[in-house]
């Protein structure tokens, strides 16, 4: 890792990113969409390094949504192969940068070989002390909430939980992200002004930063600018300035 630490204070503990625009990046250049996804992996590598260098503790990337299964078969197949290659090739990079690997989503939807590679990568990096990198795969925030509701209902039926005891903390612990703090900063690339069914519960008070750049063009400098913009925000969590000082 480099020593070019440019951000000195108020680092967001958890940054989540909607990596959007791979296909449009490729289309602008007269390339197949799959080339945009390929280039997007290079961006992931650079942003993981930068986040780690800057002291971000948690980085969550929206890599493949439940809805993405509806894309053309050849594109889905390429994305699965790309994910498989990433898991094979990036383990050394992750360990070099002391990064732990994590996944959220309906992992059982993925091909069996990829599920096994995910388990191995999680196991091989579990003791790394640095950044926790989480990929959201076959992920849908609404499905996540439904799964959480079912989990809580099962506890009530088994008399392990009284329905009157269900509160925000209880729901948070039932989500896929139970081991993660809520994001402080949500970044979306490609200029789109929507959250696309990503971490809907968890981003309730996240600061949102939208970059006009497509994900393959999003650089270290762009990420640093997002962190600097976050530092200029005043996070009130629904309170007024007067209430903050009480």
Q: Tell the burial category of 180 from Cβ atoms under 10 Å away from its Cβ (0-12, 13-18, 19+).
A: buried
Query: Any residues with CB less than 8 A from the CB of 119 and at least 6 apart, and which?
Result: none
Asked whether residue 215 is marked as a ligand-binding residue, the answer is no
The reply, when asked if residue 36 is annotated as ligand binding, is no
- For the CA atoms of 78, 84, 69, 25, what is the dihedral angle to 10 degrees? -50
Q: How far is residue 56's CA from residue 132's CA, in Å, rounded to a whole number?
A: 9
Annotation-wise, does 67 bind a ligand? yes
The verdict on whether residue 37 carries a ligand-binding annotation is yes
**33 labelled binding-site residue:** yes
The reply to whether 24 sits in an annotated binding site is: yes
Non-local CB neighbours of 101 within 8 Å, separated by 6+ positions: 94, 121, 122, 124, 125, 133, 135
**Cα–Cα dist 200/197, whole Å:** 6
- Please return the burial class of 110, using the count of CB atoms within 10 Å of its CB with bins 0-12, 13-18 and 19+: buried
Nearest to 16 by CA among 120, 145, 123, 141: 141
* 20 annotated to a ligand binding site: yes
Token digits of residue 205: 């008070």
Q: Which two tokens stand for residue 229?
A: 């913009």
Q: Is 116 annotated as a binding residue?
A: no
Residue positions annotated with a catalytic role: 20, 68
201 is in an annotated binding site: no
The reply to whether 165 sits in an annotated binding site is: no
């209880």: which residue's tokens? 170
Q: Is 141 annotated as a binding residue?
A: no
Is 190 annotated as a binding-site member? no
Binding residues for substrate, by number, are 21-25, 33, 37, 65-67, 69, 71, 188, 194-196
Binding residues, by number, are 20-25, 33, 37, 65-67, 69, 71, 188, 194-196, 207
Binding residues for Mg(2+), by number, are 20, 207
């Amino acid at each position: 890792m480099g020593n070019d630490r440019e951000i000195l204070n108020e680092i967001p503990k958890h940054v989540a990113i909607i990596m959007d625009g791979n296909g449009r990046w490729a289309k602008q250049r007269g390339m197949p969409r799959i080339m945009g996804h390929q280039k997007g992996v290079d961006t992931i590598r650079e942003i993981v390094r930068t986040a780690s260098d800057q002291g971000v503790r948690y980085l969550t990337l929206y890599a493949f949504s439940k809805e993405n299964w509806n894309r053309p078969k050849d594109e889905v197949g390429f994305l699965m192969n790309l994910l498989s290659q990433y898991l094979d090739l990036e383990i050394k990079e992750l360990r070099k940068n002391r990064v732990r690997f994590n996944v959220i989503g309906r992992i059982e939807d993925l091909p069996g070989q990829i599920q096994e590679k995910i388990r191995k990568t999680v196991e091989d990096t579990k003791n790394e002390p640095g950044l926790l990198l989480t990929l959201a795969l076959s992920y849908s925030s609404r499905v996540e909430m439904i799964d959480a509701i079912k989990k809580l209902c099962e506890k009530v039926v088994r008399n392990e939980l009284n329905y009157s005891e269900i509160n925000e903390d209880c729901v948070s612990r039932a989500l896929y992200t139970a081991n993660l703090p809520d994001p402080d900063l949500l970044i979306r690339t490609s200029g789109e002004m929507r959250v696309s069914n990503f971490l809907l519960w968890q981003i309730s008070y996240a600061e949102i930063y939208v970059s006009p750049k497509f994900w393959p063009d999003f650089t270290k400098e762009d990420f640093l600018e997002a962190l600097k913009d976050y530092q200029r925000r005043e996070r009130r969590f629904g309170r007024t300035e007067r209430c903050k000082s009480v």
